[in-house]
């Protein structure tokens, strides 16, 4: 603000922050998207251990289904990257 020619004391900025931050937090909280009930994960031991610890700590019932086709959405996300890197594999020249 000083660069624009407005001189403000630090206590004024502090009062503005105290007044405006709760309002901004409420607005952001309203716009926050809810977490869905279905998550797509790989079948790794770390993911399984993390889910088990959340179930134990929060007393939340989480159903874990493990099927090789449930992860297709996550794998499809990598298609563009695979399309770019695939031609780079192999011999370039002899």
Return the pLDDT at 3.
86
Residue 74 near residue 42 (C-beta atoms within 8 A): yes
Residue 39 near residue 70 (C-beta atoms within 8 A): no
Instruction: Decide: helix, strand or coil at residue 23.
Output: helix
Measured distance CA(27)–CA(46) in Å, rounded: 35
Return the pLDDT at 44.
75
Q: Write out pLDDT tens, residues 11-54.
A: 999 999 999 999 999 999 888 877 666 666 676 778 888 888 88
Determine the length of the chain: 94
């Amino acid at each position: 603000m000083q660069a624009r020619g407005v001189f403000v004391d630090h206590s004024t900025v502090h009062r503005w922050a105290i007044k405006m931050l709760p309002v901004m937090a409420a607005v952001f909280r309203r716009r926050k998207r809810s977490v869905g009930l279905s998550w797509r994960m790989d079948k790794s031991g770390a993911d399984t251990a993390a889910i088990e610890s959340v179930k134990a700590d929060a007393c939340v019932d989480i159903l874990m289904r493990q099927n090789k086709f449930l992860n297709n959405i996550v794998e499809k996300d990598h298609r563009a990257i695979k399309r770019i890197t695939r031609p780079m594999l192999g011999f370039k020249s002899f």
